[in-house]
A and B are shown apart, each in its own frame.
Chain A
Amino acid sequence: MSANEKREELFKRWLSPEGVKFVNEKSEKAYKERVTRIKDAIEMKKPDRVPVFPIIGFFPAYYVGLTPYDMMYDYEKLTFAFKKYVLDFEPDAHGGAIGPGPGKFFEILDYKLYAWPGHGVPKESSYQCIEGEYMKADEYDILIEDPTYFFLTVYFPRIFGALEPFKKLPRFTNVQEMYGAFTPASFVPFGLPDVQAALKAVMEAGNEALKWIGYVVAWDKEIASLGFPNFFGGGTKAPFDTLGDTLRGTRGIMLDMYRNKDKLLQAVEVVTPLMIKMGASAAKMNGNPIVFIPLHKGADGFMSTKQFETFYWPTLKKLILGLIDEGCVPFLWAEGGYGSRLEIIKDLPKGKTLWGFDQTDMRKVKEVLGDVACIGGNVPTALLQVGSPKDVEKYVKNLIEVAGEGGGFIVMNGAVIDQAKPENVKAMIEATKKYGVYK
């Protein structure tokens, strides 16, 4: 199949989701209208109106009077809050109930990479990354040579306290022939008590993940049956962020651009095909082409244009093109400002990507990217939290005028919504429905 055929196939599966029985004709019609509206916008056609998709973090918890902690530790509460959000606000799409993740799972593994509600941050707070060098500056070669070996035996022991004994695991590629020194010797670590305890933790964590995903998947199907599609088919990361966010950390990756240039460039190349597979396989499994890619370290101010063109963009572009080849729609989520990158990122095939912006001037975005990609975003989280519904309505109306002309536009917020005034989120959705109709 060609890339376009693969993509049409994925869109078709999204339009008629497997295993979903719509509650009635009305909900089926609404579901299909919503998916079609989003598809048309992505393909830079003019839909019936501008779609609206608020990108939600822990907002549903606060909305129903619960906490992020509740979302992570009580799956009944999770699905209740997220369902109430979708049904009360009626957005064109939702992002699933998968974001919060299972708290107990992280406890079993003694996860070190994040602080989460009730575990390093208050129960009322969202989870937050703990910056650190989870990969050392002199470990590039191990990663480059065999990323899986690096993750399993170096990275896992650092980010999961319970998997510390994985340091002792062998290289699985040593498993050759019947000769004792090759195959049986490779299995010796699995006999050690601490490794076995770690494997038990893996199984226990697996049980919890399975229990949790059951709720999340059932929720998804139920919400689809009521007429609301999930926006996301999968997710992946820009290769530079893969290295920079949770391996080397912000400080580490920034220093590597000066001190470890060649290794860094090699490493981002090595992880690129892995990141393509990460996004494409999820999209295929879920039957939805949209692959979410949050962009972090390449934002305005983080690095120079030359550094962006050297370290960030080449592998991000490869990732985007690789996903397009697999029939996916890369959804780039450009957090912070991206004004200085627009002229660079416009070098992409037309109508194949979706870009969400945070604090970038949308007039300029429309001007530069308007004939290349579907755009959206920019409704400020600050406005949603401390502004009034009137302010929000005015903002959205103006945004549609500036960036919505001719189609290829989706109303979205600029950064993930946790605490926001419900009446403001409502105003964002209602204003789109009011002012976003194409004639």
Chain B
Amino acid sequence: MGKPEDLVNALADLKEEEALKLVKEMLDAGEDPFKIMEYIRRGMEIVGNRFANSEYFISDLIYAGEILKAITALIKPKLAKGAEAKKLGKIIIGTVAGDIHDIGKDIVVFMLEVNGFEVYDLGVDVPPEKFVEKIKETGAPVVGLSGFLTIAFDSMKQTVEAIKKAGLRDKVKIMIGGGQITEEVRRYVGADAYGKDAMEAVALAKKWMGVK
């Protein structure tokens, strides 16, 4: 059986075949699947850090996501239900109404998840009411609004207003992001912050939830 560090490094270096082989070996040798998940989390954390340091790019993150998917498919059947690892906090995220772009949003979701957050991904073209419902349902303290088109500026503004109208504005922090988002747009929308990239989303979430 390979050493845990081998798996962590294989993942961090995006060595797909090697990582899959190591996981299979560990499972066959009877290693605790939760321990394997922890190695994977550590490997993905390194991927995230390399992305934050501009050593890795969107291409690498997408590839890392694919490797993660393949490995999770191997491990999931062996994981006992209800024994989920503890998460840092809940975040609701979605691409706002009228916009169906998801690449940027998915990268943010990926980065939040590998950093230990529980993410409720509402998908694309999400109407304001859906965000409101999900806040009520989950009590998540952070909401992320994504949008690539300029039409998304107004949808974001309407979403923030809907949250306000529902009396939830002081219960959540709202971050926005997307290709054309700037500080002016943040002010226009009435969000609490905007992020230029996925790492800023992670930093904001950590700050707002008091995670060090």
Residues of chain A touching chain B, judged by Cβ–Cβ distance below 8 Å, are 115, 120-122, 124-126, 128, 130-131, 250-251, 254-255, 257-259, 301-304, 307, 335-336, 380-383, 385-387, 415, 417-420
Contact = CB atoms under 8 A, between A and B. Distances in A.
B63 A385 contact: no
Which residue of B62, B150, B197 has the most chain A CB atoms within 10 A of its CB atom? B150
Interface in B161-184: 179-182, 184
Contacts, number: 93
Given A302-B58, A382-B184, A125 B153 contact: no
Nearest to B66: A255
B16 interface: yes
A383 B150 CA distance: 11
Given A124-B151, A301-B197, A383-B182, A115 B57 contact: no
Nearest to B14: A258
Contact of B180 (A131, A307, A380): A380
A126 B100 contact: no
B149 interface: yes
A222 to B, nearest CB: 29
B125 interface: yes
Given A254-B62, A307-B57, A128 B16 contact: no
A258 B58 CA distance: 13
A387 B184 contact: yes
8 contacts: A126-B149, A128-B100, A250-B103, A254-B62, A255-B62, A257-B59, A302-B59, A382-B185
A304 B59 contact: yes
Contacts of A251: 62, 66, 103
Nearest to A121: B98
Contacts of A257: 59
Contact of B150 (A128, A304, A381): A381
Contacts of B100: 115, 120-121, 128, 130
A99 B170 CA distance: 43
Nearest to B189: A386
Nearest to B183: A382
Contact of B101 (A128, A258, A418): A128
B58 A386 contact: no
B200 interface: no
B154 interface: yes
- Interface hub of A125, A259, A303 (most chain B Cβ within 10 A): A125
B99 interface: yes
A341 B33 CA distance: 43
Contacts of B149: 125-126, 128, 418
Contacts of B98: 121-122, 124-125
Contacts of B179: 335-336, 415
B63 A386 contact: no
Given A122-B98, A418-B151, A254 B58 contact: yes
A386 B184 contact: yes
Contacts of B97: 122
A324 B59 CA distance: 31
B118 interface: no
A302 B56 CA distance: 9
Nearest to A252: B62
Of the candidates A259, A302, A382, the one having the most CB atoms from chain B within 10 angstroms of its own CB is A382
In the complex, the 10 A-B pairs of residues with the closest C-beta atoms, listed nearest first? A386-B188, A254-B62, A125-B98, A254-B59, A382-B182, A303-B59, A302-B58, A382-B185, A386-B184, A128-B100
A285 to B, nearest CB: 31
A257 B62 CA distance: 11
B102 interface: yes
B55 to A, nearest CB: 8
Interface string B68-109: 000000000000000000000000000001111111000000
Interface in B30-85: 54, 56-60, 62-63, 66
Given A250-B103, A255-B66, A419 B181 contact: no
A419 B150 contact: yes
Nearest to A305: B57
B154 to A, nearest CB: 7
Nearest to B101: A128
Contacts of B58: 254, 301-303
Nearest to A419: B150
Given A303-B58, A387-B184, 9 more contacts: A124-B151, A125-B99, A254-B62, A255-B62, A304-B56, A307-B57, A386-B187, A415-B150, A418-B150
Contacts of B154: 419
A2 B180 CA distance: 42
A304 B57 contact: yes
A396 to B, nearest CB: 16
B70 to A, nearest CB: 11
A90 to B, nearest CB: 23
A24 B100 CA distance: 47
A128 B95 CA distance: 13
Contacts of B125: 121
A257 B58 CA distance: 12
A253 B179 CA distance: 20
Contacts of B185: 382, 385-386
Contacts of A115: 100
Nearest to A384: B150
Given A121-B100, A122-B98, A303-B57, A382 B62 contact: no
